[in-house]
Amino acid sequence: MNTELKKAAERLQNNIDSVPGRFLKYSEEELSKKPAPKKWSKKEILGHLIDSAANNHHRFVKSQFDGDPFFVNSYSQDDWVNTQRYNEIDSKFLAELWKMYNMHLHWLMVNFPEDKLKVKCKAEDATELKENILLLIKDYVDHMNHHLEQIFN
């Protein structure tokens, strides 16, 4: 396995092992409280990370057969969070969904074909990105860690 991919998968596994328990130590009130009117609550941040998993899931899969370059579609993060009303979902369910989705993405990572890691990515407007799928995978975990710091700090 590619060394950089292995490190990303290990970081993801560490999160899978620790995040649900840490998240559920907070009270429902703490998890649902918005720090400001236009800021996400802890539950909404975790929900956003589920949305990120969903969007990256399709990227990690489709990039293996859709051709090179692979077109990366964006998504409206605030609309996704608002539409799904994460503050109203049971926290245990939310934590379990986050965990299960990321367990599946971890499976994809550790089984990712080496020859597909260099597939180039292009944005929806067809401008070339400097990224390939390996960098997109690493960015997925970096993005997750950024938001987990918001939840736990």
**pLDDT per position as a tens digit, 71-94:** 998 899 999 999 999 999 999 999
User: 3-class SS at 7?
Assistant: helix
CATH number of 3-152: 1.20.120.450
Give the number of C-alpha atoms closer than 13 A to the C-alpha of residue 145, restricted to the C-beta side.
Answer: 13
- Tell me what the mean pLDDT of segment 19-28 comes to: 98
Is 70 exceeded by the pLDDT of residue 10?
yes
Q: How confident is the model at residue 127 (pLDDT cuts 50, 70, 90)?
A: low
Bridge-based pairing of strands 70-72 and 120-123 is parallel
Q: What is the pTM of this model?
A: 0.95
Could you write out the DSSP letters of every residue in 137-152? HHHHHHHHHHHHHHHH
Domain borders along the chain are 3-152
CA dist 129 and 69 (Å) reads 10
CA angle 55, 107, 120 (to 5 degrees): 50
Is 80 exceeded by the pLDDT of residue 130?
no
Q: Which DSSP category does 127 fall into? A: P
- Tell me what the mean pLDDT of segment 131-149 comes to: 96
